[in-house]
Structure 1
Amino acid sequence: MAIDNFVLSLCLILLFGRVLGEAFKRLQLPAVVGEILAGILIGPSLLGWIAPHETLAVMAELGVILLLFSIGCETSIKHLFQAGNSAAGVALLGIALPAVVIGLVCLLYLDLPGFTALYLGCALTATSIGISVRVMAQAKQSQSQEGHIILGAAVIDDIAGVILLSLLFNFASSGEVGLIPSGLLILKIVGFLLLAPPMARLLLYLFRAVKPKEEETGYEAIVTMILICLFAWLAHALHAPALLGGFAVGLALSRQFISPLNRYLQNPFAFTHEMEVESKPLVDIFAPIFFVYVGISLDLSQIDLGWSGLLTLLMLSLLAIITKMMAGLRVPGHLRTKAIVGSAMVPRGEVGLVFAEMGLQMGIISPKLFTELVLIIAITTIAGPLLLKWTLAKDDK
């Protein structure tokens, strides 16, 4: 992308994302929805000012990495583990129901080939971490019990989505699924999640020790970006989502970080707090780029506007929403708690889009199915925050 196109695209993304995000906040609606609609407005679907591009996609991924970093800064590892059983139950139910129900409907009702039907079902299993946690953070609920369950379930969902995509890719390429490579992939991802936060914490002590004596503005922000980029690269090298690297660094900065090393090393609260403060403007700039780019990635002009096409689209979208909402039933407690968690699992977001793109490139799904799949992802991505906002409001009352 030429520099003039890049800077103009970035200008429009930030401007329209901010304006529509603020407008939706004033209407007591999630800013995320406004930012996604901003992308639809300036993208190929309506005005056509910006087209999806690899450069913008990289910036969008950096935005969601930084967003997960900010969430990690406020997250307690102890509370995350306490929510582990409920989070795992929600995640597994939220994976099984869409894969089975939507896969069977595509196979029996739409008469699609078996592998294509399975691929469509699996493409709608992963929950977008960024979208739901952003809504919870704006509602000041990210550190509630529901918030920890949602975060844990979304992380498991995202990891499962990557593993499923790898398995389906191997099967489409070679006609068989390698159990040993799949097991090694799972072990590497789990090992990264367990070891990365303590490793990042140790590096924090090193950077604090070599901090210049004189006041150097920007030192903490630079250190933060170094750690985020390093651990995002490590996560990607281990075939895990790069955003888990940002989350691991955030956990290392958290005031509620727990480790056996705490009894030997003094907590660097002043330094980590300064790192959070210095990096906040970066999060505020880059995080909305991700949500606007989700809208830009959609081309609604490819929709089949016939009755049959619209009914199929409506049916699959409702199934995609209902099967994820039902995952909230796994949470103990009141019906409203179940509804909050279920609503947060609805948005598909980035992992679903990766599934769609890979399926199109490998010839598993046709261009028509690709458009329908992307539109279903778009509907869930917009419907999820609205449902979550509504359930949170009901919970407050």
Structure 2
Amino acid sequence: MPHEGSLLQAAVVFLLAAVLTVPLAKRLQLGAVIGYLIAGVIIGPSVLGLIGDTESVAHISELGVVLLLFIIGLELSPKRLWVMRKSVFGVGMAQVLLTGIVIGAVALLAFGQSLNTAVVLGLGLALSSTAFGLQSLAERKELNSPHGRLAFAILLFQDIAAIPLIALVPLLSGSDQALDTHDSLVHGLRVLGVIAIVVIGGRYLLRPVFRIVAKTRIQEVSTATALLVVIGTAWLMELVGVSMALGAFLAGLLLADSEYRHELESQIEPFKGLLLGLFFISVGMGANIGLLFSAPLVVLGLTLLLIAIKLPLLFFIGRLAGGLGKQSALRLGLVLAAGGEFAFVVFKIGSDQGLFTPELYDLLILTITLSMAMTPLLFMALARWIRPKPKTTEVPDEYRDIQTDEPRVVIAGMGRMGQIVARILRAQKIPFIALDTAVESIEFSRSFGNVPVFYGDPLRPEILRAAKVHEAEFFVIATDDPDTNIKTAELVRKLYPHMKIIARARNRQHVHRLIDVGAQAVRETFYSSLEMSRQTLMGLGLSQAQADARIARFKRHDEQVLQAQHEVYDDEAKVLQTAREARVELAQLFEADRLEEEAVRL
């Protein structure tokens, strides 16, 4: 019973720490990984000491890295590797080797470490965090940018390189020196035998097993099978003295081309996320925060030294080998400059094998943790400086020279909505003029013929005068930026009080603000949403007349509600109350229409 109580207590502590710290870290733009690390520090022995058995937690949390490597193996289909071969095996290998040599040389020459320790230090610190790096890129929507794609390729090679590095650490520690030649040969044959079993089993046994399980259509059995494959393979590898991560990686690689790949990934992903979070919490728990107080200069100095070595090297590799521009190369360096989760695994094995002293191990773990914490801060500090400069596009004189004869309509913005308005006006032979600040839009519109679209900012009064707005009857604002639309409507209303203004609105709040400045607002997705709803109702069995009636009823009711909400739109509570009342009223109206239709049929 005490054991069960302590287990439940530990689970509550872990979940509560994650729920409190991770959202806070995300809100501060630090990322979820930093939240998990902070949670581990707080509940660990260095601060509150809520968890006593940190070793057991560390063993369980290693499954997070195992599952991560399985999913990485799943994503490494031969075709994808072939397409990315230059970036992965060219740039990725160059980064690991160059960074490992430089950091290893610093450890050997400047800090007096032994050669074997320096090798493990250099290669371990050359690795970056896959979870942290990909998350940072995803949060900034940069995964498909040039530096995002190169960062993914480098991280992919680092994950592959981590497998032999983990296997190399015991050899470098000298723990195998006591084995004689016969024992070494037996051990090697045992390892090769297990790898052969995994390869043959993965090729010929796993697919039939998954086929049988899939036919049962029982979700929990499918999940259990996926976990059995990963954990079972990892256990086999551990039995023969090889890293669990290698087994998981091999299993994923063998199933990369399987028809069950996506099913496997969806089954494993939730467990991977939770256990990887637990892994980072355990790392935070193992961080000796006392070093920050006893030797702050050493800890901060090593953290800054790590970033100061990796960031310029990554910048250099990104520029020369990756062909990136200066700003993209700098972003690449920032994403990958910190240490990674595999360094924790490598150094833990090194510490267990006696390669590192406990003091050095604590120092390394704290340095990597702080380097991760500093990366988001560096991004925020340098955000303005590394922001790409706006492109200055050369505008031909013919686009600037606004020529028009008494337009009846002026259109601001020739994007999707502006082009449709212009096409209809042109088909009706109604004279108009269009203004835009995007040369691409102007070129595209003019490519269809002599369309009167010119380069000009509608927020500049002299542009409006040149476009002869004073002679027009309607001013149509079709740009896709809500603030620009409101400012343009305000300026046109101020300069031309009698002008009829029709403006594109993003949402209901935007509608209210446009109405306040005297514009007629048209919601950009309202009518397309009504048409989608009409077709859906017809597909569900309503006749065309019934569907048209429902849509017409909704449109009239929504416009009445919008008009009523305009009186109170600055009071959120009243707007919500109006929306609730309108929802009930609409349901009653629809029910009344249905009963009326039934009465007519009878």
TM range (shorter): 0.7 to 0.9
Could you say which residue in structure 1 is the equivalent of 2:282? Answer: 293
Could you say which residue in structure 2 is the equivalent of 1:375? Answer: 366
Aligned equivalents of 1:222, 1:374: Cα separation in 2: 34
Whether 1:317 aligns to 2:306 is: yes
Whether 1:282 aligns to 2:286 is: no
Could you say which residue in structure 1 is the equivalent of 2:27? Answer: 26
Instruction: Output aligned runs, 1:354-365, within 5 Å.
Output: 354-361=345-352, 364-365=355-356
Identity of aligned residues (%): 27
Amino acid at match of 2:283: V
Gaps of 5+ in 1: 258-266
Instruction: Output aligned runs, 1:262-273, within 5 Å.
Output: 268=259, 272-273=261-262
Aligned equivalents of 2:114, 2:246: Cα separation in 1: 34
* 1:76 and 1:251 in contact (8 A); partners too: yes
Assess, with a 3 A threshold, how the Cα gap between structure 1 residues 340 and 90 changes in structure 2: closer, same or farther: farther
Amino acid at match of 1:96: L
Tell me the CA shift for residue 38 of structure 1. Answer: 1.3
Amino acid at match of 1:105: V
Aligned equivalents of 1:122, 1:276: Cα separation in 2: 29
Tell me the CA shift for residue 60 of structure 1. Answer: 1.0
Equivalenced residue count is 374
Tell me the CA shift for residue 121 of structure 1. Answer: 3.5
Assess, with a 3 A threshold, how the Cα gap between structure 1 residues 303 and 123 changes in structure 2: closer, same or farther: farther
Deviation larger for 140-149 or 161-170:
140-149
SS at match of 1:124: helix
TM-score for both structures, normalised by structure 2: 0.51
Instruction: Output aligned runs, 1:232-247, within 5 Å.
Output: 232-236=234-238, 241-247=243-249
Deviation larger for 358-367 or 37-46:
358-367
Higher radius of gyration, 1 or 2: 2
Per-residue CA deviation, residues 253-285 of structure 1 (Å, 9 max, x unaligned), is: 55xx3xxxxxxxxx74xx554444444433343
SS at match of 2:79: helix
Q: Which of 156, 163, 168 pairs up with 2:160?
A: 156
Amino acid at match of 1:317: L
SS at match of 2:213: coil
Tell me the CA shift for residue 376 of structure 1. Answer: 1.5
* 2:127 and 2:339 in contact (8 A); partners too: yes
Deviation larger for 28-37 or 110-119:
110-119
Assess, with a 3 A threshold, how the Cα gap between structure 1 residues 224 and 50 changes in structure 2: closer, same or farther: same
Could you say which residue in structure 2 is the equivalent of 1:85? Answer: 86
Amino acid at match of 2:339: R
Higher relative contact order (CA 8 A, sep 6+): 1
Aligned equivalents of 1:79, 1:363: Cα separation in 2: 39
SS at match of 1:88: helix
* 1:83 and 1:145 in contact (8 A); partners too: no
Could you say which residue in structure 2 is the equivalent of 1:262? Answer: none
Assess, with a 3 A threshold, how the Cα gap between structure 1 residues 253 and 106 changes in structure 2: closer, same or farther: closer
Aligned equivalents of 1:42, 1:60: Cα separation in 2: 15
Tell me the CA shift for residue 221 of structure 1. Answer: 0.7
Amino acid at match of 2:359: K
SS at match of 1:333: coil
SS at match of 1:379: helix
Tell me the CA shift for residue 58 of structure 1. Answer: 2.4
* 2:125 and 2:340 in contact (8 A); partners too: no
RMSD: 4.3
Could you say which residue in structure 1 is the equivalent of 2:133? Answer: 132
Could you say which residue in structure 2 is the equivalent of 1:66? Answer: 67
SS at match of 2:64: helix
* 2:237 and 2:246 in contact (8 A); partners too: yes
Amino acid at match of 2:220: G
Tell me the CA shift for residue 213 of structure 1. Answer: 5.3
Tell me the CA shift for residue 37 of structure 1. Answer: 1.4
Assess, with a 3 A threshold, how the Cα gap between structure 1 residues 331 and 230 changes in structure 2: closer, same or farther: farther
Assess, with a 3 A threshold, how the Cα gap between structure 1 residues 236 and 25 changes in structure 2: closer, same or farther: same
Tell me the CA shift for residue 36 of structure 1. Answer: 1.4
Tell me the CA shift for residue 16 of structure 1. Answer: 1.6
Could you say which residue in structure 1 is the equivalent of 2:430? Answer: none
Tell me the CA shift for residue 149 of structure 1. Answer: 0.6
Amino acid at match of 1:333: G
Amino acid at match of 1:228: V
Tell me the CA shift for residue 370 of structure 1. Answer: 2.9
Q: Could you say which structure has the higher strand fraction?
A: 2
Q: Which of 314, 331, 343 pairs up with 1:352?
A: 343
Assess, with a 3 A threshold, how the Cα gap between structure 1 residues 98 and 284 changes in structure 2: closer, same or farther: closer
* 1:72 and 1:247 in contact (8 A); partners too: yes
Q: Could you say which structure has the higher helix fraction?
A: 1
Assess, with a 3 A threshold, how the Cα gap between structure 1 residues 52 and 99 changes in structure 2: closer, same or farther: farther
TM-score for both structures, normalised by structure 1: 0.74
Aligned equivalents of 1:284, 1:358: Cα separation in 2: 23
Aligned equivalents of 1:306, 1:381: Cα separation in 2: 19
Aligned equivalents of 1:274, 1:308: Cα separation in 2: 49
Could you say which residue in structure 1 is the equivalent of 2:459? Answer: none
Instruction: Output aligned runs, 1:327-338, within 5 Å.
Output: 327-329=317-319, 331-335=321-325, 336-338=327-329
Aligned equivalents of 1:362, 1:70: Cα separation in 2: 28
Could you say which residue in structure 2 is the equivalent of 1:216? Answer: 218
Aligned equivalents of 2:9, 2:370: Cα separation in 1: 28
Aligned equivalents of 2:365, 2:215: Cα separation in 1: 52
* 1:86 and 1:149 in contact (8 A); partners too: yes
